[in-house]
Amino acid sequence: RHWQSAHLQEALPLLVMGFFKKIVVADTIKSIADRVYSLDEPSKIILLAGTLAFTLQIFADFSAYTDLSRGLARLLGFETSPNFNAPYRALTPADFWNRWHISLSTFLRDYVFYPLRRAILRHKNLPAWLAQAIPPLLTMFISGLWHGAGWNYLLWGVYYGLLSLLYQSAGISGIVQGKWSQVKRLGLWALMFGFIVFGWGLFRAGSLSWFFHILLHSPFLAQPQDLLMCLVIASMLAFYSLPLLIQPLSRPGSWAQATYFAGLTILTILYTNSGNPDFIYFQF
């Protein structure tokens, strides 16, 4: 392999984006999510705000991990596949897993889901519904187990398995086809995003008993200050999400793109400190 200047040109945006997502976005938002999930009994609206913070944190953290990996590989002349494809734009559970952690999702699909489904279908005496129910449930259970042996990870995996069955029984295809109107797509997106956020709540919860106690017994709004705190958190999430949302708008090679990445670099330097925590997925 021979190094080429094109490798640097292709790697630099990935490296800048990776450092920005990790240092500026994920590590800043982490303090919000950690604070909420360390409270003894937050109100439901505070829990929602903290879970939305974690929703942004885990995406920025894990996609940063992927961007840096791909950027470093590109410097050495290797082209590795992207691991994310706008996962929060998903309309169904299958669509989400086709966009999130694509390497793991593809592996589980090819080596767990399809072989298991074929094995069940070969037994003609088994009920047909088993071939529809068992593969997604077991596949997503293994996905949860891959993240750790904690009950929250296992329940998170089963949750997505059940969610896939629910969408399947409702007749909604894995990736929604063009027959759906924009209004229906917007409704499907809002519903799926709500399911995603709830799933991240299960994933982040240090204790399932704590999580479900808040959902079942904690007041929606414990005190007036809760609403103000939620507005502050929401404004911070919007502020730190904005650079990630406007990235696709800059045309490659344009002055707008150059200015965009220069701004990200400056912000990353300003936010850099010696105490940055590890990536979330290091523990997995």
- % of residues, the chain, pLDDT over 90: 66
Mean pLDDT of 57-71: 95
pLDDT digits (tens, 9 = 90+) for 9-52: 889 999 999 999 999 999 999 999 999 999 999 999 999 999 99
20 vs 232: CA distance, rounded Å: 22
At residue 274, the pLDDT reads: 54
- The mean-pLDDT minimum among 30-39, 121-130, 137-146, 248-257 falls in 248-257
Report the amino acid identity of residue 239.
F
**Is the pLDDT assigned to residue 284 strictly greater than 80?**
no
Distance, in Å, from the CA atom of 86 to the CA atom of 149, rounded to the nearest integer, reads 28
Residue of 249 and 99 predicted with greater confidence:
99
- With a cut of 60, say whether residue 174 has pLDDT above it: no
pLDDT in tens, 75-107: 998 999 899 999 999 999 999 999 999 999 999
Given 123, 147, 213, 217, the catalytic residue: 147
Mean pLDDT estimate for the chain: 89
Q: Report, as an integer, the average pLDDT of 248-277.
A: 81
CA 146 distance to own-chain centroid:
16
Residue 177: which residues within 8 A CB-CB, separation 6 or more? none
- Residue 282: is its pLDDT beyond 80? no
Tokens (6 digits) for 85: 């494809």
101 catalytic residue (yes or no) = no
Distance CA 22, CA 253 (A): 24
Q: Output the pLDDT for position 45.
A: 95
Per-residue pLDDT, 241:
94
User: pLDDT band for position 176 (50/70/90)?
Assistant: low
The confidence score (pLDDT) of residue 213 equals 93
Q: Could you give the C-alpha distances from 100 to 66, 83, 84, 95, 172, in angstroms and in order?
A: 11, 7, 5, 9, 19
Read off the pLDDT of residues 177-235 as tens digits, 9 standing for 90 and up. 566 778 888 999 999 999 999 999 999 998 899 999 999 999 998 888 899 999 999 99
> What band does 276 get if pLDDT is binned at 50, 70 and 90?
low
Q: Which of 23-32, 38-47, 151-160, 165-174 has the lowest mean pLDDT?
A: 165-174
Which helix (H) or strand (E) covers residue 149, if one does?
Answer: none
